[in-house]
């Protein structure tokens, strides 16, 4: 087996010079006009392309901010690179980059464009767009939603400030992470949570199990049935009643066994 050949700092990267950097700084700082965007698909799955599309069509309408998608890199101020850079697309992507006039802003779009995403270390992929080109802005997401896209561009154009703040939490000596529902016996809790997940999946299952476990915790076991009935009548959802019924059965069986 041949040795790995994984380039983290690729020899093929384009490095702009200082003068261009100054120009670009000015462009980003003082942009007083609309900006033209050209999309370069370096090997994406289409998800990103179509979300960009969605962002420029009537509901989101990025054009109201002066952001316009153009059909040639020669007209572009902003290049948007989507997808993990594949071997075949490296040269076309570089060609598009060189075709755009300086100063230009390069955006890495989507999880794959930012880092290579799920494909980051594959044999036919060079990684994110920043492996071959200098990138000024990252818009993450798989794919980024149209609102995230517009927000990203607004940040790039200086219309908005980046919403980013760091927070740190250091664990104290006597600090313990809190368990959920510590009053409910562990084996019962596991049974209830698993049943809820099998019935309603991860997202709804977690919510439903939480409601049920809170009822057990706070109420008298003998009154559970009536509390539950009240709750279900208020919710008026036959599927929820079915799931809660199943959880109640498990609880009663456990209760009888203990």
Q: How far apart are CA 6 and CA 206, in angstroms?
A: 41
Q: How far apart are CA 57 and CA 146, in angstroms?
A: 10
Binding window for another protein (CB under 8 A); candidates: 43-51, 168-176, 184-192, 212-220 = 43-51
Judged by CB under 8 A, the residue of 36, 119, 153, 251 near another protein is 119
Judged by CB under 8 A, the residue of 35, 67, 96, 215 near another protein is 96
Judged by CB under 8 A, the residue of 24, 27, 35, 39 near another protein is 39
152 binds another protein, rule: CB under 8 A = no
Q: What is the DSSP letter of 200?
A: H
Interface pattern 48-87 for another protein (x via CB under 8 A): xxxx-xx--xxx---------xxxx----------xx-xx
Q: Which residue has the tokens 């995403």?
A: 117
151 binds another protein, rule: CB under 8 A = no
Supply the minimum distance, in Å, between the C-beta of residue 243 and another protein. Answer: 8
Cβ closest to another protein, residue 219 vs residue 241: 241
41 binds another protein, rule: CB under 8 A = yes
Binding window for another protein (CB under 8 A); candidates: 21-29, 47-55, 150-158, 171-179 = 47-55
| Angle value at C-alpha 165, between 77 and 67, nearest 5 degrees | 20
Cis peptide, bond prior to residue 194, ω within 30 of zero: no
Q: Specify the 3-state DSSP secondary structure of 159.
A: coil
Query: Residue 212: CB partners within 8 Å, gap ≥ 6?
Result: 192, 196, 228, 244, 247, 248, 251
What is the chain's Cα-based Rg? 27
Q: Which residue has the tokens 């049974």?
A: 191
Summarize as ranges the residues that interact with another protein (CB under 8 A).
1-7, 39-41, 43-51, 53-54, 57-59, 69-72, 83-84, 86-92, 96, 117-119, 121-126, 142-143, 145, 197-205, 235-240, 242-243
């Amino acid at each position: 087996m041949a040795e790995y050949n994984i380039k983290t700092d690729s020899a093929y990267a384009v490095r702009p010079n200082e003068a261009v950097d100054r120009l670009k700084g000015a462009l980003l700082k003082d942009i007083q006009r609309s900006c033209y965007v050209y999309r370069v698909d370096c090997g994406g799955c289409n998800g990103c392309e179509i979300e960009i599309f969605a962002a420029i069509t009537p509901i989101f309408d990025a054009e109201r901010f002066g952001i316009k998608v153009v059909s040639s890199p020669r007209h572009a101020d902003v290049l948007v690179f989507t997808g993990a850079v594949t071997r075949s697309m490296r040269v076309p992507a570089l060609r598009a980059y060189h075709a755009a006039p300086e100063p230009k802003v390069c955006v890495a779009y989507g999880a794959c464009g930012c880092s290579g995403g799920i494909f980051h270390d594959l044999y036919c992929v060079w990684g994110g767009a920043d492996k071959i080109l200098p990138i000024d802005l990252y818009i993450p997401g798989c794919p980024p939603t149209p609102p995230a896209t517009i927000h990203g561009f607004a940040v790039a154009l200086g219309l908005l400030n980046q919403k980013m703040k760091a927070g740190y939490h250091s664990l104290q000596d006597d600090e313990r992470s809190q368990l959920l529902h510590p009053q409910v016996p562990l084996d019962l809790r596991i049974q209830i949570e698993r049943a809820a997940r099998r019935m309603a999946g991860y997202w709804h299952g977690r919510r439903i199990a939480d409601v049920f476990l809170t009822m057990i915790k706070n109420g008298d076991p003998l009154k559970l049935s009536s509390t539950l009935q009240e709750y279900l009548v208020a919710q008026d959802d036959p599927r929820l009643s079915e799931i809660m019924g199943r959880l109640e059965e498990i609880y009663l069986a456990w209760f009888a066994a203990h």
